[in-house]
Amino acid sequence: MAELSKAYEPGEVEAAWYARWLEGKCFHAEAGSGKPGYSIVIPPPNVTGILHMGHVLNNTIQDILCRRARQEGKEVLWLPGTDHAGIATQTKVERKLRDEGKTKRDVGREKFLEMVWDWKDHHGGIIIDQLKKLGCSCDWERERFTMDEEYSREVQRTFVHFFKQGNIYRGKRMVNWCPVSLTALSDEEVDMKPQQSKLYYMKYELVEEPGTHLRIATTRPETLMGDTGVAVNPRDERYGHLVGKHARRPFPAADIPIVADEHIDPEFGTGVLKVTPAHDKADFEIGQRHGLEILDVLHPDGRVNCPECPDLDGLDRFEARYVAAKKLEDMGLLEKTEDHENKVGFSERAGVPIEPRISMQWFLRYPQVGRATRVVADGEIEFRPPRWKKTYMNWMENIQDWCISRQLWWGHRIPVWYRKEKAVELQEAESLDAADLERGDLHVGTEPPGDPGNWVQDEDVLDTWFSSWLWPYATMDEPTRAKFYPTSDLSTGPDILFFWVARMIMAGLEFMDEVPFKNVYFHSIVRDLKGDKMSKSLGNSPDPLDLIANYGADGLRLGLMRIAPTGMDVRFDEKQIEEGRNFANKLWNACRYRLMQGEAAMGGPAAADRPAELPVYAIDILAKLDALGEQLETAYAAYKFNDIAAQLYEFFWSNFCDLYLEAVKNDFREGGERKAATLWTMDVCLSRFLQALHPFMPHVTEELWRTLGFGREGEFLMQAELPREPVLAGLDAAEARERAAAVYESASRIRNLKAEYNLASNKKVRLVVKPAGGWVEAEAATLALLTGAAAVDFDAAYEPPKGTPAALTAVGEVYLPLEGLIDVAAERSRLGKEIAKVEKEMAKSEAKLGNANFVERAKPEVVEQERGRLKDWQEKIAQLQEMLAGLG
């Protein structure tokens, strides 16, 4: 039998068990298994990513679900993998090139992609190793990558499918353009952030009325070279007479028409808008309505493109803003500037303001929108918490076509080829769709044309999410799908509800004709104590690996799950992780204590070996153990992970250690049947508890399971099925539990009495008890053990010396004779206070029962309960008063 160290050291234990699980193929999912299937696909982290607290939370949840499902006898597939993360990954390699003074164009597309693959092979997938450190039980044999050959083929098939269906088209549209990444972004990849900026009040001269000016407020003077109109609200009386006339754009000088458009808010600024159709979405639409020219005055990288204004040409857009304002000022056309807070769209990846830009892009009309809405509305897919349903519905109702093309190199290249001689013409064509296939100048397919020399492939790649949305089924081969698709649960952050979850539902319905998962659990967002979202850029996120090193993966997991509510967010506090570690240590030491009493039966305790005679404390803790099993089942069914964690914590620490273990310590010295019964009880509690805790703290539970000898050679705790029979099946525990509770409660009151009299908690005292029932005397030794009493005497006729401290407890009146320390006044005041407390409760109870409405209209059992309560109070007060009277 192994000796256990005094404190649990997670480091080596965790690494050793992970290796053993792998070696034992414990995570392997067998498609041919006869057990019912359970599956989760991991939300694939970026291949370039490193583990952050959000990952820890999300993957702990998934691991818990998977490990629990295995315990329930299911064949479990947790399918892991990573995402190629177009922009993020490409950026890393571009940065490396830049350090060498090169750009990707210098090395060329082919070579560049080689470099990215090379980078991915050497530096990618760090996060996979980190997930292993966390204890994740993924089937690593099935690890997938969104750019695996098979997976890529699926992506291409998807594109071709929608193109031929007519739902993918190409066109020149206003898109979100990232001037750093030099690519279009979808609306979902843009974050609107409030910005402190300036509102510039400019004056444009009226062409038809020289000398008079139109005042215009703008936040973007640097785009005024692209102004091709000025707009006012048609109902704005101040400006109605000017509609149809012209204003003079200061530089480059031009006369631009004044138009009337409903979009203009007369309340904002001066009520006049300069219309720059090439650089603002709203302006673009106004321009369309009034036939205004589109004048692009910015380069793709955000520098000004306006040779007519040499002092601005080539400047960065923000620098140009100040130069343009200065220029207006010099011309006497800048009236004033005001501070102004507005919201600016930022590129989620690059962190810079996006630039609305007209460019040629590929779009997808979302498929299966109606059905995807219904499956969630009808509960075929459950959202937890359910309020995310509404957010989902809102998005589905206002859904816009998805810009799926990206001007990147790293990603799935669009499977479209143009016939060489027509390429230039086709690539500039206003629109392109399935109809163009007919002419034979276009090839759209998963295979390149047979004569590739005559064709040119589209330069763009697809949005990363255009591959991720196929994840639940594209990662599976046919036999795997047959067993594990649709998947059971999906756990993810609400921040990718639109990016990923909604789109997966649509793709699942379109291609598998089935929902991709039955439950979606939206976990909390991890914030710091100030409430800020944890992020690398804020530097407020602890490195989970440091936490694992300091507290163990198990400590991190339990600590986090205890505070992770099902609500909006969780405030991370390292203190909580420390508690997780402390819990592991508590568990460790309780098991260590068990080992000190002798070896456990190899293979663990058998429920059938339940001793005929069980002490009341044993019955009590076993009843709690049985109740725990039921409560956990309920909580798992509701995905209430923090509840589960709290129940596990409370059962073990409060009930098992603080109450039960403290009450039975004498048994080990006595030996005999009592000792055997207690050891059996401990073993049942420990083995079942280790199993119940296992999904949350897999390593330490597995270690202790083996050390205590609960498993046979070669058996893993993680593979053991949950017992179905309650330990106390067929036994009426009520009376025993009442007695155990009475002893616990009394012990607590007596310790309180000692404390009130400033007796050290380990001070040996003598107790005299007027027992409340004949059974009490049998519990004297336990009572003494729990209260630190040298002796407990029973004397129904005891007449205490005046002023003897006394407490009314569930085992009877308890006296604490304190020779030489008697203080009648103190005791009178103490009893008086207690009486006052009880009287207050009694008054409340009497008032309720005195209310005719209550007695008539409340549920009978509630009234009955209240009557019982009142009776208790009355009895108690009578006894207390008698004790008080005894003081003389």
Partner RNA sequence: GCUCGGUUAACUCAGUGGUAGAGUGCAUCCUUCACACGGAUGAAGUCACUGGUUCAAGUCCAGUACCGAGCACCA
Pairing of strands 229-232, 254-260: parallel
Provide the sign of the torsion angle of the four alpha carbons 301, 303, 306, 307, taken in this order. negative
The residue (of 514 and 662) whose beta carbon lies closer to RNA is 662
Closest contact distance (angstroms) between CB of 843 and RNA is 12
Decide: is 565 part of the binding site for RNA (CB under 7 A). Answer: yes
How far apart are alpha carbons 423 and 415 in whole angstroms? Answer: 15
> Is there a contact between 198 and 338 (Cβ–Cβ < 8 Å)?
yes
Binder of RNA out of 308, 658, 795, 864 (CB under 7 A): 658
Binder of RNA out of 35, 157, 220, 867 (CB under 7 A): 220
Window contacting RNA (CB under 7 A); options: 307-315, 696-704, 753-761, 822-830: 753-761
Residue identified by tokens 């994840």 is: 471
Residues 524-543 that bind RNA (CB under 7 A): 529, 531, 533
The residue (of 220 and 299) whose beta carbon lies closer to RNA is 220
Annotate each residue in 103-132 with x if it binds RNA (CB under 7 A) or - if it does not, as one string.
------------------------------
Residues 715-744 that bind RNA (CB under 7 A): none
The residue (of 114 and 650) whose beta carbon lies closer to RNA is 650
Residue 458's SS3 state is coil
* Rg (alpha carbons) of the chain, rounded to whole number: 37
The residue (of 392 and 484) whose beta carbon lies closer to RNA is 392
Binder of RNA out of 107, 243, 545, 646 (CB under 7 A): 646
Closest contact distance (angstroms) between CB of 673 and RNA is 21
Residue 157's SS3 state is helix
Decide: is 198 part of the binding site for RNA (CB under 7 A). Answer: no
| The pair of three-digit structure tokens given for residue 151, joined into one six-digit string | 């997976």
Angle made by CA atoms 452, 425, 305, in degrees to the nearest 5: 115
> Is there a contact between 221 and 324 (Cβ–Cβ < 8 Å)?
yes
Q: How many residues bind RNA (CB under 7 A)?
A: 97
Residues 257-316 that bind RNA (CB under 7 A): 263-274, 280-282
Annotate each residue in 483-522 with x if it binds RNA (CB under 7 A) or - if it does not, as one string.
-----------xx--x------------------------
Residues 422-461 that bind RNA (CB under 7 A): none
The residue (of 481 and 533) whose beta carbon lies closer to RNA is 533
Window contacting RNA (CB under 7 A); options: 458-466, 771-779, 845-853, 878-886: 845-853
How far apart are alpha carbons 627 and 448 in whole angstroms? Answer: 63
Closest contact distance (angstroms) between CB of 104 and RNA is 30
The residue (of 30 and 348) whose beta carbon lies closer to RNA is 348
Question: Which string of DSSP letters, residue by residue, matches 678-705?
Answer: HHHHHHHHHHHHHHHHTTTSHHHHHHHH
Residues 572-611 that bind RNA (CB under 7 A): 573, 575-576, 578-579, 581-582, 584-586, 589-590, 592-593, 596
Binder of RNA out of 218, 488, 687, 809 (CB under 7 A): 218
| The pair of three-digit structure tokens given for residue 858, joined into one six-digit string | 């409340």
Closest contact distance (angstroms) between CB of 807 and RNA is 10
Decide: is 192 part of the binding site for RNA (CB under 7 A). Answer: yes
> Is there a contact between 621 and 653 (Cβ–Cβ < 8 Å)?
no
List Cβ neighbours of 28 (8 Å cut-off, separation of 6 or more).
139, 141
How far apart are alpha carbons 226 and 232 in whole angstroms? Answer: 18
Window contacting RNA (CB under 7 A); options: 719-727, 776-784, 794-802, 856-864: 856-864
The residue (of 7 and 729) whose beta carbon lies closer to RNA is 7
Bridge partners, 814 (sequence order): 769, 807
The residue (of 454 and 752) whose beta carbon lies closer to RNA is 752
Alpha helices in 24-81 (DSSP H): 53-71
Binder of RNA out of 348, 839, 841, 846 (CB under 7 A): 841
Binder of RNA out of 1, 2, 7, 602 (CB under 7 A): 7
Residues 385-414 that bind RNA (CB under 7 A): 387, 390-391, 394-395, 398
Decide: is 783 part of the binding site for RNA (CB under 7 A). Answer: no
The residue (of 484 and 649) whose beta carbon lies closer to RNA is 649
Decide: is 858 part of the binding site for RNA (CB under 7 A). Answer: yes
How far apart are alpha carbons 525 and 307 in whole angstroms? Answer: 48
Binder of RNA out of 643, 779, 813, 827 (CB under 7 A): 643
How far apart are alpha carbons 684 and 693 in whole angstroms? Answer: 14
Provide the sign of the torsion angle of the four alpha carbons 844, 845, 849, 850, taken in this order. negative
Decide: is 203 part of the binding site for RNA (CB under 7 A). Answer: no
Decide: is 870 part of the binding site for RNA (CB under 7 A). Answer: no
**Burial label, 71 (beta-carbon count in 10 A; 0-12, 13-18, 19+):** buried
Binder of RNA out of 122, 450, 714, 762 (CB under 7 A): 762
Residues 330-369 that bind RNA (CB under 7 A): 342-343
3-state DSSP of 170-212: EEEEEEEEECCCCEEECHHHEEEEEEEEEEEEEEEEECCCCCC
- How far from each other are the two terminal CA atoms of the chain, in whole angstroms? 61
The residue (of 385 and 445) whose beta carbon lies closer to RNA is 385
How far apart are alpha carbons 62 and 598 in whole angstroms? Answer: 37
